Amino acid sequence: MKMQGNTILITGGGSGIGEALAHRLHDLGNRVLIAGRRLQALKAAAAGRNQIVPLELDADDPQAVEAFARQVIADNPALNVLVNNAGIMRMEALDRRRDLGNAEATIRTNLLGPIRLTNAFIDHLVNQPDAAIINCTSGLAFVPLVATPTYSATKAALHSYTVSLREALKGKVEVIELAPPAVQTGLTPGQETREGYMPLADFADETLSILSAQPTPPEILVKRVGFLRFAESEGRFAETLAALNPKG
């Protein structure tokens, strides 16, 4: 992936990983559009950086996504990189009947959101030089956290979707998967300071270092996520699942 001179759209760019990546990519010399539901958070993330542009978007609304894409392309014809980063993580108990609102919301945001955004921009991206799509999945795509089953499942599905997308767009658009470990962000309450989670700045720095390699790896994997990403191929899936989900 080219690291300078891009016009980049990042969903979920108002906080956490999206904001950290937006700042670093902006500082490398890129124009960065950050999109999400919370306009005030987006404006705060863009403060002091004149080439970061906040844009309000409800990615759960199919019509809103299509209208958003048309406007973004009209206003930013040089757009060549899409980063599908927006996501939510909800706790769910599987051992009793429950309301499925959290599960359905997670699927809409984490899986249908990236599919809709990619679909809305794909005809534009295939005609752009140095085009790339980055899908943010998770280490939990490879070993699930039982307390967040739908989150883990959506990330596993997005991993698979990204593999298909990469093959379908070979030679046209570079398709990259970013699979973070547990990072200190606001994804869940108290996570910003949770012990044992990777500091956000360290994650962003290591991610940018890997992303800038030439050729860019198809999967951006910081060292900490290897414990999850390679559990099955290294023959330790059962032990890793148990370690991630201790009983009692």
Strand residues in 80-165 grouped as ranges (E): 81-84, 132-136
Task: Give catalytic status of residue 151 as yes or no.
Answer: yes
Catalytically annotated residue among 151, 165, 220, 224: 151
Strand partners, 36: 56
Q: How far apart are CA 57 and CA 71, in angstroms?
A: 11
| 176 neighbors 132 (Cβ within 8 angstroms) | yes
Query: Coil, strand or helix: which one is 144?
Result: coil
Q: Count Cα neighbours of 210 within 13 Å in the Cβ-side half-sphere.
A: 19
Helix (H) or strand (E) holding 35: strand 31-36
Enzyme catalytic residues: 151
